[in-house]
Amino acid sequence: MAHVNYSELAQVIASLTEGERDEVALMATLACEVHHSDDRFDWTGFYRVTEPELLKIGPYQGGHGCLQIPFSRGVCGAAARTGDVQLVPDVDAFPGHIACASSTRSELVLPVWNRAGDLIAVFDVDSDKPDAFTQDDADHLSAILKSTFAT
């Protein structure tokens, strides 16, 4: 199983997104590049904050996802509600988990902030393998999100 080379991934994303300010274009590019960087990543995408306390599906790679997720539900909702990274080794053990895809076994969800410090989305990475993600994944992906959306 290949694991992502985060320094290479960060360079590729920075190169592809240089000068781009449209958030949807940035999300689409980032979802694509992250998804194809590692075979642990079964579903990779964004849920955008479209109104208070509500996330709607944004650019993603993989099978279909839930169209909307309230802040009050699931792993994505928890990331949006708390502003904290959610590193979930077993989604079945997460209270209130929403099964958008029955194949999902573990999940990593990171809040996405813009330059003004507003929450604009969450970045959701699902795996069909249990305990697929590490704190290292969370740290590197958080840094990529910050450099893409918040600088």
- The answer to whether position 62 is within a domain reads yes
How sure is the predictor about 5, in pLDDT bands with cuts at 50, 70 and 90?
A: very high
Residue 36 forms part of a structural domain: yes
Per-residue pLDDT tens over the stretch 101-131: 788 999 999 999 999 999 999 999 999 999 9
What six digits make up the tokens of 25? 């274009």
Give the β-pairing of 43-51 and 54-61. Answer: antiparallel
State pLDDT tens for residues 30-53.
999 999 999 999 999 999 999 999
CATH number at residue 112: 3.30.450.40
Classify residue 56: in a domain, yes or no: yes
Residue percentage of the chain with pLDDT more than 70: 99
* Residues of the domain holding 99: 6-149
Pair 110, 122: CB distance under 8 Å: yes
Residue 1 has pLDDT above 50, yes or no: no
Number of domains in the chain: 1
Q: Are 58 and 46 in contact (CB under 8 A)?
A: yes
State yes or no: pLDDT of 92 exceeds 90: no
In a domain, 1, yes or no: no
- Predicted pLDDT of residue 103: 85
- pLDDT, the chain, mean: 94
Q: For residue 3, what pLDDT is reported?
A: 82
DSSP reduced 3-state for 82: helix
